[in-house]
Amino acid sequence: MPTALITGVTGQDGQYLAEHLLGLGYRVVGATRGQQNPKVPSLRERLPDVELLPVDLLDLTSVARAIEAAAPDEIYNLAAVSFVQYSFDHPLLTASVTGVGALTVLEAIRLSGARSTRFYQASSSEMFGSARESPQNELTPFHPRSPYACAKAFAHHTTVNYREAHGLFAVGGILFNHESPRRGLEFVTRRISWYAAAIKLGRERTLSLGDMSVERDWGFAGDYVKAMHLMLQRPVADDFVIGTGVTHSVQQFCAAAFRHVGLRWEDHVVSDPSRRRPADVMTLRADASRARSELGWRPTVGFDELVATMVDSDLRLLTGQTGP
């Protein structure tokens, strides 16, 4: 039975990845900052087979002890300050957790002697920022436009460096936006799905958003975690772009969500300039051709199905039925 250690196990990706690996027969160990994490109880309820270890990603000794205790064959570093807007208000925390946290795990692997452990770094399409070309592939230069993206770029380059300098099996998955009913309410996609459901039920009247012309390549998180696992099964470590290759605007996401509940988004959505980022990325679109050809990975959930699934989940949540 192979063992996987997942940092950020209580997040959207961590939960879907843990489910996928458990289904493949893995022993899964989740690293959490502490037992006071408010997401731990729901994780224990949903995934009781996941073992939990307290780990401080900014403490090398803490990480080293966790690796020694878990003895993992694979480590998936998904922990991050992942809300882009929050990163503008808390750049030092973002740099520490999202950037230096990855370095801490890699250094702990190097010093532990567990050099056969395979490492996955959750890199992000936000690193491309104001990209020079579209779509973006593994060779597209980075131009990060937020503290979050800068921290992710540092973590990604550090992963490559440990692969090249120390011979670790370390890969970076450059994942484009991936959503699900388990997305946090602070993210625009979940905000839209929740408000569409709440307005349909008469709980809310208006949804305020920032720039609705921003375009992203949106896919289903459950599909994307499968690509993470596939990257660590290859004979040679390398980085891969993961995405659908299709973009939609925030406005189109709104239209799909409100249409699903029989409403017109124009009657309920207003633009709020205060919600705009200090520096934004207007369009990101993936060229995941290498992932298709070398990993055999393809997305299975389309845009309209993804939006409908999120709205239906929030309808259930708001009416007291099963949540996400």
For the annotated catalytic residues, the residue numbers are 124, 126, 148
Strand partners, 270: 208
Beta-carbon count within 10 A of 144 CB = 20
Q: What is the distance between the alpha carbons of residues 79 and 47, in angstroms, rounded to a whole number? A: 18
Return the sign of the alpha-carbon dihedral for residues 191, 193, 195, 198. Answer: negative
Alpha carbon distances (Å) from 181 to 14, 214, 224: 14, 21, 14
Quote the DSSP letter at residue 283: B
Q: For residue 80, what are the contacts with CB-CB under 8 A and spacing of at least 6? A: 8, 97, 98, 101, 122, 148, 151, 152
Rg (alpha carbons) of the chain, rounded to whole number: 19
How do strand 215-216 and strand 248-249 relate by DSSP bridges? antiparallel
Please state, in angstroms and rounded to a whole number, the distance separating the CA atoms of residues 281 and 159: 24
